[in-house]
Amino acid sequence: MTTVTDTPRLDSLLARSATAHPDRPALVAGSESWTYAELERAVGELAHELAAVGAGPGVRIGVYAAKGPATVIALYAALRAGAVVAPLDVADPPARTARMARNAGLSLLLTTDRSLTTCRRAVEEAGESSGTPAEGPLAHGLNWLRVAAPAAPAPLPPPTDQGGYILFTSGSTGWPKGVLLSHTNVAHYALWAAREFGLTETDRIGSQAALTFDLTTFDLFSAAAVGACTVLMPDLLRAFPRDVVGWLHEQRVTAFVAVPSLYHGMLQQGGFAEAVPPSLRVAAFGGEPFAPHLLERYLELLGDVPFYNLYGPTETNACTYFRMPPDWTADQELTIGRGIGGVDIEVLDDEGRPTDGEGEIHIAGPTVFQGYLQGGALRDPTVTATFRDGTTRRAYASGDIGRITADGRVFLRGRRDSQVKRRGHRIDLLDVESAVLDLPQVATAAVVAKDAPHTGEIWAYAQTAATERDVLAELRAVLPKRMLPDRVIPVAALPTLTSGKVDRRALSGDAAAPTVTPATTEESLI
């Protein structure tokens, strides 16, 4: 077992494999292929170039680029330079990227030639000065752009003064929250997964999700840990389950981690049942509930190929796991399993005491993040909790409700706050709501997750004279597509409770309701 103290840096995983397996393929994307020796050399050279423009310990760098070899090289090079690095999504509106950059205290963005124009827009919005930001070219079609921040953010405490990784989550304040992870936080999970899945240098890991998504730390760093090959799926295929199945075949993928939404699509529209990729050796899912009858079908189709259920908020990486029994059936309750090696899970009641009943899931151990970056500063929201073994630990209160059995298996029940999962993405309804409220033509608004028959949909009820279409068009300029409401319902007034609070339960259940009229409806909804 690897202990916390000897967990290597993420970029050291790459360097080690470049020594152990120099000629093995490290990265494949379309017709491009990089061996470990080639990737390591490119990363080392780019790290030097980055140092020349100011990258180093204490500096926070965003990588704003579509998924590709240059993006992976940029992430590793920033880590090698000792910086904290944040993958950013080019599909996000520049205004949101600018907020993320400001919030995380990013002082340098790296981008590809293709995304240079939108990156400039984001940098201009994020910076203080209105002039053209300083920028310059780098190797591999990359560019650097400097964010003219009002003031340098407060330095980060150890261990992230020596670098780290930032992933963003939807935040209730309307600002995406930067989740600051140390090298160890990410590497611990990557090494655990490599061991548990039995990865070797002959494996080919299919990487389908955007690098902003936490599950992809497996694709990059578990591969590097053993000298396996990361196969990057072209972004264009992501919306087409049939193409994903074809790609798994063509690329002879042996290990694959994805959200249930994609697995659902591969089975229902992608022809997975008729063409189970013969190379597939191990697979995992996580991030949202799997439809039970489809999960049962996958277990039949996969036979003795191990299929894992992974759970974990971005703040802790995947922190529990359960290897699905091949004979599991849809009528059985599904567990998220036990803590991964070195991670302790506890369920605490409202008074903070361990309970055998339902309570909030708390996570402790080497995967627990350092804190959120807001306004450039680090805020550690973890709590000190005493687990049932009597040990007091620094723990992250997940906001997920569940229970834990005597043998340590955890069962999820739901959320305690305003967060929902839609198509694998964690979305804070208040984040969406604050974007709606920011629109000048909206007086007030409430954003809710709908009950049946619209389960899984997010609707915005807005007091506005504008049309649904206009509001959606405005929202598209400030929210990523994954966060757009499914419907915008213009209303004369929002229903309220006697407390004066918006009656969100009524809105969630109110099936169609094109108009919620004031006064009378308000009373009847109480």
Partner 1 sequence: MTTANPAVSPVTPVSRDMNSVEDLCVLISSKITWGRGETPARLAPDTPLLEQGLLDSLAIMEIVAALDKEAGIALPDTEIVAANFRTPQALWSAVEVHRAAGGAGA
Query: Which residue lies nearer to partner 1 by CB, 153 or 265?
Result: 265
Cβ neighbour number for residue 157 with a 10 Å cutoff:
11
CB of 303 to partner 1, least distance (A): 20
Query: Which residue lies nearer to partner 1 by CB, 180 or 231?
Result: 231
Query: Which residue lies nearer to partner 1 by CB, 364 or 462?
Result: 462
Please give the Cα distance from 306 to 325 (Å, whole number). 9
Query: Which residue lies nearer to partner 1 by CB, 270 or 313?
Result: 270
Q: Is the separation of the CB atoms in 125 and 95 below 8 Å? A: yes
Token pair belonging to 103: 């919030």
Query: Which residue lies nearer to partner 1 by CB, 294 or 493?
Result: 294
Query: Which residue lies nearer to partner 1 by CB, 92 or 503?
Result: 92
Cross-sheet strand order for the sheet of 320-323? 32-35, 25-29, 229-232, 204-207, 255-258, 282-286, 307-311, 320-323, 338-339
Which of 20, 473, 492, 526 forms a contact with partner 1 (CB under 8 A)?
473
CB of 475 to partner 1, least distance (A): 8
Please give the Cα distance from 521 to 526 (Å, whole number). 9
Q: What count of residues does the chain have?
A: 526
Q: How far is CA 488 from CA 37, 282, 503, 508, in A?
A: 52, 41, 17, 13
In the DSSP assignment, the letter for residue 120 is H
Query: Which residue lies nearer to partner 1 by CB, 38 or 474?
Result: 474
Q: Which of residues 423-452 bind partner 1 (CB under 8 A)?
A: 423
Per CB under 8 A, which region of 10-18, 160-168, 407-415, 467-475 contacts partner 1? 467-475
Which of 51, 91, 148, 397 forms a contact with partner 1 (CB under 8 A)?
91
- From residue 229 to residue 268, the character string flagging contacts with partner 1 as x (rule: CB under 8 A) and all else as - is -------xxxxx-xx--x------------------x--x
Please give the Cα distance from 163 to 283 (Å, whole number). 30
Query: Which residue lies nearer to partner 1 by CB, 19 or 269?
Result: 269
CB of 38 to partner 1, least distance (A): 27
- From residue 159 to residue 188, the character string flagging contacts with partner 1 as x (rule: CB under 8 A) and all else as - is ------------------------------
CB of 412 to partner 1, least distance (A): 25
Query: Which residue lies nearer to partner 1 by CB, 406 or 452?
Result: 452
Terminus-to-terminus CA distance in the chain, angstroms?
57
- From residue 484 to residue 503, the character string flagging contacts with partner 1 as x (rule: CB under 8 A) and all else as - is x-------------------
CB of 205 to partner 1, least distance (A): 21
Query: Which residue lies nearer to partner 1 by CB, 182 or 207?
Result: 207
Residue among 19, 132, 144 nearest 70 (CA): 144
Q: How far is CA 19 from CA 149, 331, 364, in A?
A: 40, 49, 34
Residue among 460, 465, 490 nearest 475 (CA): 460
Please give the Cα distance from 347 to 413 (Å, whole number). 12
Which of 173, 200, 269, 517 forms a contact with partner 1 (CB under 8 A)?
269
CB of 445 to partner 1, least distance (A): 18
CB of 138 to partner 1, least distance (A): 23
Residue among 77, 52, 54, 53 nearest 65 (CA): 77
Residue among 161, 169, 99, 110 nearest 482 (CA): 169
Residue among 196, 129, 500, 179 nearest 368 (CA): 179
In the DSSP assignment, the letter for residue 311 is E
Query: Which residue lies nearer to partner 1 by CB, 57 or 141?
Result: 141
- Burial string for 341-353 (b: 16+ CB within 10 Å, else e) reads bbbbbbbbeeeee
CB of 296 to partner 1, least distance (A): 15
Query: Which residue lies nearer to partner 1 by CB, 261 or 521?
Result: 261
Per CB under 8 A, which region of 39-47, 51-59, 437-445, 474-482 contacts partner 1? 474-482
Residue among 231, 286, 281, 279 nearest 261 (CA): 286
- The reply on whether position 48 binds partner 1 by CB under 8 A is no
Per CB under 8 A, which region of 362-370, 398-406, 476-484, 501-509 contacts partner 1? 476-484
- The reply on whether position 22 binds partner 1 by CB under 8 A is no
- The reply on whether position 472 binds partner 1 by CB under 8 A is yes
Q: Is the separation of the CB atoms in 182 and 371 below 8 Å? A: no
Which of 4, 477, 492, 526 forms a contact with partner 1 (CB under 8 A)?
477
Q: Which of residues 381-410 bind partner 1 (CB under 8 A)?
A: none
Please classify residue 471 by burial: count the beta carbons closer than 10 Å to its beta carbon, then call 0-12 exposed, 13-18 middle and 19+ buried.
buried
> In the complex, which residues of this chain contact partner 1 (CB under 8 A)?
91, 93, 236-240, 242-243, 246, 265, 268-271, 423, 472-474, 476-477, 481, 484
